[in-house]
Structure 1
C-alpha cells in the first residue's frame, strides 16, 4: 500500500480516494465552511516572495513572522507526514458598509462615530469560530478513516494560507493581496486542515481576473501598497490599529480617519465584492455598539469594562491601551473642537501611549477651531 493511503480497519467498507475526497468536502460544508478545496502538501510558490517581503521590513513589529520564517517553506514543518492540505473559507460579508448606512440614515452618525472592520463587528473572535468548525471536520475525518492524522490551522501556524488557497482552486490574488473568489468575492476568512490522507487535488486557480483595475490601490489613504500585490504593513490601517503597540506614526494619523479597528476600504471598492453573497453565520452579524462604534465611549472605558465587553472578540487584540489610543486618533480626526474638554478630562488617568495620542488629538482639534474662526 502506498504511503499515506487510507487504511480501513476490518469490518469497515473499502473507500476509494475519490469517494473519500467527496466525503471530506461534504463534511467541510456540513461543518459550516462555505468554500473547500484540496491541494497536495508542497512547498508554496510564494515562499521566496514572502521571504523577500520580510527582508524589506514590511512586516513591521510582527516579529512572529520572521522568527519562524523557515517553517513557512513546507507544511511538513506544521505537521510531519502531511500529504494533503484541505483549504477552507467562511464568508463574513454582512451587507452594507457603514458609509452607505450613514447615507441612508440607518445608522446614528456623529463626530465621535468610529468604524470597525466587518470581521470584528460580531459576537465572537473568528479564531474560536473556525477552530470549532475545524474540530467538527476533524472528528468526521477520523470517523471516515480511523487512524488518520490531522491538524487544523487558523492563521496561527507557519502556513501561507493564501498560497495554498490558490493552489486548492479557491481563488486568485487581488492587487490588494487578498484572495478573491469569483462567486464569493474577498470577504473570506481562511482555515486549513492538514492530513496524512492522500486526497484528490483540485485544479490550481492560475488566472487573475483584476485586469487593469487599481481601485483597491487608489483608495488606500495611507498609501500602504508599495506596488500591486505588495503591502507595506507598516502603513496599513489594519496593522496600525491592531498590531502596532507603539504610537502611530504622526504622518499616518490623518489617513486613519475614523477607523477604530481594522479597515475594509480596499475590499469595499473591489468590483468582485459588488455581488458577494451575504454570510449565513449569525456570529458575524454586527453588534449595535460596533456598527458604528463610539470613539468617545471607547476612550472612557475602564480596563475592567474593556475586558468584560471585548475579551472574546477581535477587539481584544490591541489591548485596552491600544484601542483607547485608536479612539483618541479618531476623535482627533473628527474636526469637532467641542470634543476638546472630553479629551482633556481623559488626560489624567491615561497611560503614556494614550496620553500622547490625546495630546495630538487636542492639538489637531485646536488647529481646526482656529481655522474655522479665521473664516
Structure 2
C-alpha cells in the first residue's frame, strides 16, 4: 500500500492526466476501487444467461467487481479512452445499406487495438514509475475480469448509455477503454452521476435483433457482435435474416446515437482502415482463401475468429443478399464452391443461404422482394436530440 499527502497526490494525478494525453489518450480519469453498486446487476445479468457462451464471464467470481481481489493492493484505478473512428473510411451507413457490401464494425477496420493500448498504458506506467519508484500496477485492455465501463463512468469518462456503452457528451462513444490498477492513493475524479440519454430510445429501436432488452440491459445471445465474433456455433435461424450484411460486429446503436455528432476522429495510424475492409463486397471477401485471410488480416482483431467462422458469417450475409438475377446467381455459384470443404457447421449456413437465394430467383414482383428484405432500415422517427454543448 502506498499513500501520499493530499497535495502531492493531487499534483501527481494532474501530471498523470497530462502524460496520458501526450501518449495519445483522448481522456484520462482516476477512480477508487469500490464497484459494489454494480455487483448485483452484473451477477443478475449472468444469472439470466444473457452472457451466452462467454463462460469467462463467470470464471473469476467477484474478482471482476472487486479490483482488490483481482490485484491485491490496488488503491486507485487510472481509466483511459482512445478514439478509433477513421474519418477516411467509407460512409458506414452507405456500406450498411448496400446488401452486396460487407459491413465490418468500425473498430476492426485497422490493427488490433489490444496491443496498441497495452503499449501506451505500459509507457504511462513507466512515466509514473520514473517519479514514483514504488509504483505497482497492472494494465488491462479488455483482457481480464475488469468492469471497464463502470470504472470509466466512476472516473468521469462518460455515462453508461441505454446501449450499455460509455458515452461522453462531448465525445460520443467511438473509443476504446483501458485501465491501470495501481497501488497509488490518488484523488478520484467526480463520476458521471446522471445518464444523459434523456427520452431518446434510438439505439433500442434500431437494434436489428432486439438485443437491447431495456435501458442498459443487453441479451448478448441476440447481439450481432456476439454472434459474429464471440459465438462459434450455429447462429439461430430466426436471427440470421436480421443480421443483414454485418459480418463482423455491429455499430447500429452507435450510428443512431445523437451524442456521436460530437465524436472526434482517431489520430492513430494503426486504426486507419486496411485492405479495403471498409468497402469490400461480400463476394470479394468470400473468394479469399485461408492464406488470403491470414495474410490480409495479419495484426487485425478479425483474425482471431478463424477462417471457418469468417466464412460462416459471410454465408449468412450472402443469404441476405438482394440484387438482380445475375448477382444472385453469382452468389449461389460462389457459395456452392465451398460446400463440403469445411465441415457441417459451415455447410448448414451455406445451405440456408442457398435456399434463400434460390427462393429470390422465383419471386416475380419487386413488392415480394421488398417483403423479403433482411435489412432493418433506420427508422424515420424523430429522436431526442441533445442540446449542443458549448
Quick check: TM above 0.5?
Answer: yes
- With over 3 angstroms needed to count, the CA separation of the structure-2 counterparts of 1:18 and 1:91, relative to structure 1, is same
Distance 1:16 1:99, change over 3 A: closer
1:72 matched to which residue of 2? 64
Counterpart of 2:150? 163
Structure 1 residue matching 2:322: 3-state secondary structure: coil
Query: Is residue 82 from structure 1 mapped to residue 74 from structure 2 by the alignment?
Result: yes
Measured in 2, the distance between the counterparts of 1:270 and 1:215 equals 7
CA RMSD of aligned residues (A): 2.1
- Structure 2, unaligned runs of 5 or more: 369-390
Q: Is the 8 A contact 1:116 1:260 kept in 2?
A: yes
Equivalents in 1 of 2:17, 2:229: separation in Å? 34
Indicate if the aligned counterparts of 1:138 and 1:150 stay in contact, CA closer than 8 A.
yes
1:276 aligns with 2:282: no
- Residue 312 (structure 1) shift: 1.5
Matches within 5 A, 1:149-298: 149-298=136-285
- Please give the alpha-carbon distance, in whole angstroms, between the structure 2 residues aligned to 1:303 and 1:99: 26
Name which of 338, 346, 351 aligns with 2:343.
Answer: 351
Q: Is the 8 A contact 2:275 2:296 kept in 1?
A: no
Indicate if the aligned counterparts of 2:84 and 2:265 stay in contact, CA closer than 8 A: yes
For residues 309 and 44 of structure 1, do their structure 2 counterparts lie closer, same or farther at Cα, with a shift above 3 Å needed? farther
Runs of at least 4 residues of structure 1 off by over 6 A? Answer: none
Q: Does the residue aligned with 1:255 lie in a helix, a strand or coil? A: coil
- Give the drift of 1:350: 2.9
Q: CA deviation at 1:102?
A: 5.5
The one of 94, 103, 106 equivalent to 1:115 is: 103
Q: How does 1:45-56 map to 2 (within 5 A)?
A: 45-56=37-48
Per-residue CA deviations over 1:246-284 (Å, capped at 9, x if unaligned) read 011100001100101001000000000012111111111
Cα distance in 1 between the residues matched to 2:185 and 2:251: 37
1:44 to partner: Cα distance: 4.2
Three-state SS of the structure 2 residue aligned to 1:20 is: helix
Match of 2:2 in 1: 4
- Residue 241 of structure 2 aligns to a residue in which SS? helix
Q: Residue 98 of structure 1: which of 88, 91, 95 is its match?
A: 91
Distance 1:176 1:73 in 2: 20
1:289 Cα offset (Å): 2.0
Q: 1:296 to 1:350 in 2, by over 3 A?
A: farther
Matched, 1:29 2:27: no
Distance 1:116 1:169 in 2: 30
Map of 2:49 onto structure 1: 57
Is the deviation greater in 317-326 or in 333-342?
Answer: 333-342
Query: Matched residue pairs, number?
Result: 361
TM-score normalised to structure 2 length: 0.88
Distance 1:111 1:167 in 2: 40
Q: Any gaps of 5 or more consecutive residues in structure 1?
A: 8-14, 104-108
Evaluate the alpha carbon distance shift between residue 351 and residue 112 of structure 1 in structure 2; reply closer, same or farther with a 3 A threshold. Answer: farther
CA drift at 1:323: 0.7
